[in-house]
């Protein structure tokens, strides 16, 4: 004897199957490849910015040591230039705060300057205020001035970043540590994509 299936059950099953077929499947984001990571546009933008910044910096002349005696043929010895200090980039609206983005850019600035042949002093001072605001100007703090003086640094590279709806605007400056005079500057922007957003939100 055949078992009769109610029509309502058949109709309901058909509708459910149709709904399953029309429901869009969740697409998993593809993981980046090693090649994509190597050619990351974020790194390239920061490296190019440092290159342009240092083009604008009036490099000091190397000091020349006097010869041992006027009648000797000993060559004169040139001493290398003093090192740079790279400070952590800070939020332009909250100069006492930075982020993973600010710290990462400062690391890449130091790396690129080393690639370009400049001497860079390794400086890691966590939770320090690298810049302060005074009468509308951004000045170096006393702590970083003291470090620059103790290590005879020729200049300090500082920077700020500002968030907008679609961009992160970055400003890099080379500053005289004694006078706080800006010797060179370069501005650029990064897209506010998911990568940048994650770096800004991390502390």
Q: Tell me the pLDDT tens digit for each residue of 174-185.
A: 999 888 899 999
pLDDT at 94: 84
Tell me how far apart the terminal alpha carbons of the chain are, to the nearest angstrom.
72
Phi, psi of 112 (to 5 degrees): -65, -40
The confidence band for 164, taking pLDDT boundaries of 50, 70 and 90, is very high
On the question of pLDDT at 202 being above 80, the answer is no
> Domain residues of the chain, as ranges?
42-55+80-201
C-alpha–C-alpha distance, residues 166 and 99, integer Å: 18
Phi, psi of 199, deg, nearest 5: -70, -35
**Residue 137: what pLDDT?**
54
- CB–CB of 202/170 below 8 Å? no
CATH superfamily of domain region 42-55+80-201: ABC-type transport auxiliary lipoprotein component (3.40.50.10610)
At 21-69, the pLDDT tens digits run 554 555 666 787 888 788 889 999 999 999 999 999 987 644 444 343 4
pLDDT in tens, 98-150: 889 999 999 999 999 999 999 998 766 444 445 666 655 556 777 778 888 88
DSSP 43-101: HHHHHHHHHHHHHTS-PPPPPBPPPS-TT--PPPPBPPPPPEEEPPPEETTBTT---HH
For CA atoms 7, 13, 17, 18, the dihedral sign is positive
Q: Is the CB of residue 90 less than 8 Å from the CB of residue 97?
A: yes
**Per-residue model confidence (pLDDT) at position 8:** 55
């Amino acid at each position: 004897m055949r078992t009769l299936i109610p029509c309502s059950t058949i109709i309901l099953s058909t509708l459910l199957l149709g709904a399953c077929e029309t429901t869009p499947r969740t697409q998993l984001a593809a993981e980046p490849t090693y090649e994509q990571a190597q050619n990351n546009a974020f790194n390239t933008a920061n490296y190019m910015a440092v290159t342009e910044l240092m083009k604008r910096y009036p490099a000091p002349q190397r000091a020349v040591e006097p010869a041992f005696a006027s009648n000797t043929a000993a060559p004169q010895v040139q001493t290398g230039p003093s090192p740079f200090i790279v400070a952590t980039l800070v939020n332009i609206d909250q100069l006492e705060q930075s982020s993973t983005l600010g710290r990462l850019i400062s690391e890449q600035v130091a790396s690129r300057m080393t690639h370009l042949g400049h001497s860079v002093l390794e400086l890691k001072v966590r939770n320090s205020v690298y810049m302060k605001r005074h009468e509308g100007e951004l000045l170096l703090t006393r702590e970083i001035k003291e470090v620059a003086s103790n290590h005879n640094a020729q200049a300090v590279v500082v920077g700020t970043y500002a968030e907008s709806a679609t961009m992160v605007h970055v400003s890099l400056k080379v500053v005289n540590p004694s006078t706080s005079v800006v010797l060179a500057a370069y501005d650029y922007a990064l897209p506010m994509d998911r990568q940048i957003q994650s770096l800004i939100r991390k502390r």
